[in-house]
Structure 1
């Protein structure tokens, strides 16, 4: 599929279309679909009173699993495609750095929390424990320092926690369309800031 020419006027609808067509796909061994997982993350962020940018980051944190939808910039779909990196890359032209960095750092945040929070690993799902091994395991001391040097590391940790908690079957959430106005506001705000 070739992506249309994307800009701030159509990126949100493009992402909404991806959710509607592909959101029911399974989520890597978890008991929820991809869209259920991402929508639960957004609801958890809203419930915590997070700003709109973090609600958007929680909603979009796994968009990298769909990078093939964006055209030739896909890094591959059949093996670890570093979805955090590819997701940040496709969002960067349209969304503010706090969102793209939360997307990019949500996997390193898991590694960070495993290194810095003694009880965190035991709260991970079995699928997350498995992918942790593929993603490099808990961070070492140098990696922890580098992670903490990122100005958005605290926000990324919040998104990671919502990511971990957003894997409960049967949880009612609004549809993706509920978040379209919020996403459009964030995109338009970024366009004005540039």
Structure 2
């Protein structure tokens, strides 16, 4: 097994760092496979609803596709809750960080903020402020996030909705994640995001 000799990063040589870069590049080729596995594992999360988390994610993506959304947005809808099991209090930001290098900034912003925007549907039942999303009322992606939540996210808990399997979305995932990370022609001008959780 190839490995470096250093035990402190500052002692590494150029040759060692080129080795690590090559190994990391090879490992990163399996990113979509790891994402697919992580999505499959969400089938074991989120009890109490009429569908599991994987079905919810597939249904959200299917609704986005049926409405004519582009691949960036469909992939965003598919992955929007991927962080639920590892980052339950900031799952939106977790998912946004995964897609950020590969999709336009609007999609990243929407996924990053969808948890806060979803509060509109239930926060008042817990004594919270359902209109907390309105702090972004003047943001250029505000309405897109409202629409994402209204049309695809909040309504995707229907066990009778015709939902395709994960394999249906795999080619899209492979195309999106095959892009060069942080390509300005793809992501465009990044819009500052708020790191308030939810």
- The normalised TM-score by structure 2 is 0.67
What per-residue deviation string (whole Å, max 9, x for no partner) do you get for residues 99-125 of structure 1?
Answer: 3222111122224xx3xxxxxx4xxxx
Label 1:51 to 1:93 Cα distance change in 2 as closer, same or farther (>3 A): closer
The structure carrying a bigger helix percent of its residues is 1
Any unmatched runs of 5+ in structure 2? 1-22, 185-198
What per-residue deviation string (whole Å, max 9, x for no partner) do you get for residues 139-171 of structure 1?
Answer: 25xx51x31333322322222121111101143
- Counterpart of 2:78? 59
Label 1:110 to 1:81 Cα distance change in 2 as closer, same or farther (>3 A): closer
- Counterpart of 2:32? 12
Any unmatched runs of 5+ in structure 1? 69-74, 115-120, 122-128
Q: Distance in 1 between matches of 2:83 and 2:58?
A: 15
Q: Distance in 1 between matches of 2:182 and 2:59?
A: 29
1:63 is displaced (CA, Å) by 0.9
> Which structure has the larger Rg?
2
After superposition, the CA RMSD in angstroms is: 2.9
Residue number among 128, 131, 138 corresponding to 2:130 in the alignment? 138
1:34 is displaced (CA, Å) by 0.6
1:52 is displaced (CA, Å) by 1.4
After superposition, where does 1:41-56 map in structure 2 within 5 Å? 41-56=60-75
Residue number among 141, 163, 178 corresponding to 1:188 in the alignment? 178
- Equivalenced residue count is 160
Greater relative CO (CA pairs within 8 A, separation 6+): 1
- The normalised TM-score by structure 1 is 0.68
SS of aligned partner of 2:43? coil
